[in-house]
């Protein structure tokens, strides 16, 4: 039985009492939205929500592109953070990481260098020749979230770093290729883990892709490794794929002091690329393209 303060069955994301109340969900002819919400907690987005999330994703991609272009030897990740922060404000958007979670994330973007897997915090260390850097931008525009990240190579990087950068990019692209309604979600992890292991890399399992759009992190979880989770994709689903690929062991260790920075256990390099995607009747749309 649905309660007044529960999320409405129609998929709006609003409380029932503010939406379709007192109309009850119709059990006999449940719509895909009702089914996905009750069964998996997944909100299939309405056309209006999709339009808003598409705009937010496009902005995130633009901010990410501009910030990546600033990343050169001698520049600090704090300078990148401050630049990206300004771009959010100029566009009337909010950087989602700032103040997110507990303890609250202290900066506006994530900058993850070399052996840092994800959630690196911008600081005053200048970028150096040979560094690999992930920049992760999530913006909130008109209440809608868009999430994407990319790698930047600073000058000449060694073969091991180049390998994780290239393999993580290919893992993301190959997993996008197969997306379509009806596909079991674990096919994504199958493709990524196979490609990574064929190229002498490991897949991080402690962090996963995620539903996104109305909140920063929504169901479903999207593992990048092999699992038994066979939830079928459906038109209107919006989620990220963001494989974190390591040159050595797959294990992540969270920094004891800041509680965010996730590093490889063997200090070998790690790389990640991220897109937000929409499942459509025809297949899929990458929302975080320029």
Residues that bind ligand MF3 (CB under 6 A): 97, 100-101, 105, 110, 119, 136, 138, 147, 240, 242, 260, 274
Tell me the C-alpha distance between 70 and 135, whole Å.
11
Q: 268 forms bridges with which residues in the sheet? A: none
Strands 218-222 and 209-211: antiparallel
Residue (of 62, 47, 236) closest to 148 by Cα position: 62
Q: Judged by CB, which is closer to Co ion: 12, or 168?
A: 168
Distance CA 218, CA 39 (A): 14
Q: Of these partners, Co ion, ligand MF3, none, which one is at the site of residue 179 (CB under 5 to 8 Å by kind)?
A: none
* DSSP three-state, residue 174: helix
Nearer to Co ion, 115 or 136 (CB): 136
Q: Which is nearer to ligand MF3, 82 or 160 (CB)?
A: 82
Burial (CB count <10 Å: 0-12, 13-18, 19+), residue 24: exposed
Binding residues vs Co ion (CB under 5 A): 136, 147, 149, 240, 274
3-state secondary structure 28-80: CCCCHHHHHHHHHCCCCCCHHHHHHHHHHHHHHHHHHHHHHHHCCCCCEHHHH
If you count them, how many residues does the chain have?
290
The listed partner (Co ion, ligand MF3, none) that binds 169, CB under 5 to 8 Å by sort, is: none
Q: Nearer Cβ to Co ion, position 52 or 97? A: 97
Residue 269: CB atoms within 10 A of its CB come to 25
Comparing CB distances to ligand MF3, the nearer of 7 and 117 is 117
Ranked by CB distance to ligand MF3, the top (closest) residue is 97
Give the phi and the psi of residue 287 in degrees, each rounded to 5: -85, -20
Q: In angstroms, what is the minimal distance from the CB of 214 to ligand MF3?
A: 15
The entry of ligand MF3, Co ion, none that residue 223 binds, CB within 5 to 8 Å by partner kind: none
| In the complex, minimum distance from the CB of residue 277 to Co ion, in angstroms, rounded to a whole number | 11
Give min distance, CB of 96 to ligand MF3, in A.
Answer: 7
Nearer to ligand MF3, 38 or 62 (CB): 62
Find the shortest distance in angstroms from Cβ 247 to ligand MF3. Answer: 21
Measured from the CB of residue 161, what is the shortest distance to ligand MF3 in angstroms?
Answer: 21
Q: Which of the choices Co ion, ligand MF3, none does residue 21 contact, using the CB cut-off of 5 to 8 A by kind?
A: none
Q: How far is the CB of 56 from ligand MF3 (least distance, A)?
A: 13
Interacting partner of 40 out of ligand MF3, Co ion, none (Cβ under 5 to 8 A depending on kind): none
For the four alpha carbons of 245, 248, 250 and 254, in that order, the dihedral sign comes to negative
């Amino acid at each position: 039985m649905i309660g007044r303060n529960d999320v409405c069955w129609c998929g709006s994301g609003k409380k029932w009492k503010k939406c379709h109340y007192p109309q009850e969900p119709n059990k006999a002819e449940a719509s895909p939205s009702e089914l996905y919400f009750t069964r998996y907690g997944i909100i299939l987005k309405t056309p209006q929500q999709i339009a808003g999330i598409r705009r937010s994703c496009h902005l995130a991609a633009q901010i990410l592109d501009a910030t990546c272009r600033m990343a050169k030897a001698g520049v600090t990740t704090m300078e990148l953070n401050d630049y990206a922060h300004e771009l959010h404000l100029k566009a009337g958007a909010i950087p989602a990481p700032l103040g997110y979670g507990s303890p609250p994330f202290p900066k506006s973007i994530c900058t993850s260098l070399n052996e840092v897997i994800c959630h690196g915090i911008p600081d005053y260390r200048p970028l150096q020749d040979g560094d690999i850097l992930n920049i992760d931008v999530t913006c909130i525009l008109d209440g809608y979230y868009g999430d994407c990240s990319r790698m930047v190579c600073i000058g000449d990087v060694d073969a091991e770093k180049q390998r994780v950068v290239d393999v993580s990019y290919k893992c993301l692209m190959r997993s996008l290729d197969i997306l379509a309604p009806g596909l079991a979600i674990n096919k994504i992890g199958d493709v990524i883990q196979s490609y990574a292991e064929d190229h002498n890399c490991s897949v991080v399992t402690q962090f996963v892709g995620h539903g996104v759009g109305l909140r920063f992190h929504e169901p479903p979880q999207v593992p990048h490794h092999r699992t038994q989770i066979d939830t079928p994709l459906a038109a209107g689903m919006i989620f990220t794929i963001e494989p974190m690929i390591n040159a050595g062991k797959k294990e992540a260790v969270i920094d004891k002091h800041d509680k965010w920075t996730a590093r490889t256990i063997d200090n070998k390099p790690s790389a990640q690329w991220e897109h937000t995607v929409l499942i459509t009747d025809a297949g899929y749309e990458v929302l975080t393209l320029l």
